[in-house]
Amino acid sequence: MDKEIEQGYNEILESLRKRSLWILHYCTGCGAIELPPTMTSRYDMGRFGIVPFVTPRQSDILIVTGYVNIKTLRRIITSYEQMLDPKYVIGFGSCSINGGIYWDSHSVIKKLDSYMPVDLYIAGCMPRPEAIIHSFKHLMELIDTGKADGYRRYKENYDFYRKNQRKVLGKWR
Amino acid sequence: MEIERLNQVIRGTVEVKRKQRVDIIVDNADIVSALHSLKLFGFNQLTLVTAVDWIEEQQFEVVYVLYSNAQKVVAIVKARIPRENPEIETIEDLYPNANKYEVELTEMFGIKVRGNPDSGKPFLLENWHDLPPMRKDFDSIKYATEHYEARHRKENND
């Protein structure tokens, strides 16, 4: 009986959670240029309860906008680990999926989800604001159905992620 | 500006490309003195320091881009140095912003800069144990495939 109550409680929580998602306003690559039109009056993501925010501790979504090089990876992992549960990661653009045009670069990683758990990818170079809004709505569905469990996967497979991070970053902590 | 006068004060080849563009080719030993003369001539801004890897000729070409705000002229100073144990003299005393460009030269091309205290310190690259990446004999694709995991892709998309 307790389990059922807890499950129901979680369902209510998650359906409330999806109504108020705050984005960590940290932009890694060129994809950041598509976010201002999404935020402002033309596309206005505020109508879904999604607003940009400046500190990782109050944010729910980390958008990795574009290529991630070694220097950036260190910073986004630190930011991601500072965020409180529940937290979601959106990989933005083809660079975070498979390296994009930086596939042969000496400093850009090619597969973001081996270093941090990604809930959702948006394909394209660049994705249009419509695609971003669509992905937010999809993320809301994922949260509602309990499928956006990246933060749980990060805890469960911490050794796997840490091993991959050490492989490219060296011993850093 | 009397660009022709540059010929008299700089030991090297001065070539006037256009009205607002001068190319100056000097020897390795004359870089600092040439830049010093140019600074006295009114070239008060250092825009860029970089290098070109001429691997077939076994040489690096160090390139300094200067700009004169008063005369609106760009001067490009080029010097060839040998590719084995490349070394140049610092110009930090003349143009303080050259510091970071020289650190980058050391990191990206392996050109040592005498007199620059920061030369050789890690700046952009982290955890790097390979050839300097901007050299022509550095294989970027090989390094990327060895170090960074690639996404497995399907053979066909049917």
Domain boundaries, chain A: 2-162
Is there a contact between B150 and A98 if contact means CB atoms under 8 Å apart? yes
pLDDT of A14 over the 90 cut: no
The pTM assigned to this predicted structure is: 0.82
Average pLDDT over residues A137-153: 88
Q: Do A33 and A126 meet the contact criterion of CB atoms below 8 Å apart?
A: yes
**Residue B104 covered by a domain:** yes
Q: Report the chain A residue with the minimal C-alpha distance to residue B123.
A: A71
Residues of B in contact with A105 (CB under 8 A): 140, 144
Domain that holds residue B38: 3-147
Per-residue confidence (pLDDT) for residue B158, from 0 to 100: 64
Q: Do A87 and A61 meet the contact criterion of CB atoms below 8 Å apart?
A: yes
Residues of B in contact with A68 (CB under 8 A): none
Q: Report the chain A residue with the minimal C-alpha distance to residue B132.
A: A106
Q: Which of these CATH numbers, 1.10.10.1100, 3.40.50.12280, 3.40.50.720, 3.40.50.300, describes A2-162?
A: 3.40.50.12280
Q: How do residues A151-161 score in pLDDT, each as one tens digit?
A: 989 999 999 99
**How many angstroms separate the CA of residue B119 from the nearest CA in chain A?**
20
Cα–Cα dist A144/B112, whole Å = 58
**Residue B50 covered by a domain:** yes
Domains in chain B, number: 1
Cα–Cα dist A147/A152, whole Å = 11
Is there a contact between A106 and B151 if contact means CB atoms under 8 Å apart? no
Q: Report the chain B residue with the minimal C-alpha distance to residue A73.
A: B126
**Residue B157 covered by a domain:** no
pLDDT, greater one: A87 or A173: A87
Cα–Cα dist B36/B44, whole Å = 10
- Can you list the positions of beta strands (E) in chain B? 13-18, 21-26, 45-54, 59-68, 73-82, 87-89, 112-114
| Mutation to test the B interface, candidates A98, A101, A104, A106, most B Cβ within 10 Å | A106
Average pLDDT over residues B99-103: 92
**Residue B154 covered by a domain:** no
- Which token pair is A68? 């991630």
pLDDT of B49 over the 90 cut: yes
User: In angstroms, what CA-CA distances link B97 with A52, B5, B49, B103?
Assistant: 36, 27, 10, 11
Task: Specify the CATH number for the domain of residue B72.
Answer: 3.30.460.80
Q: Do A51 and A58 meet the contact criterion of CB atoms below 8 Å apart?
A: no
Q: How do residues A49-84 score in pLDDT, each as one tens digit?
A: 898 888 999 998 999 988 888 888 888 999 999 999
Cα–Cα dist A157/A115, whole Å = 11
Per-residue confidence (pLDDT) for residue A20, from 0 to 100: 86
Sign of the Cα torsion B8, B11, B12, B18 reads negative
Give CA A95 to chain center in angstroms.
Answer: 14
Is there a contact between B153 and A106 if contact means CB atoms under 8 Å apart? no
pLDDT of B4 over the 80 cut: no
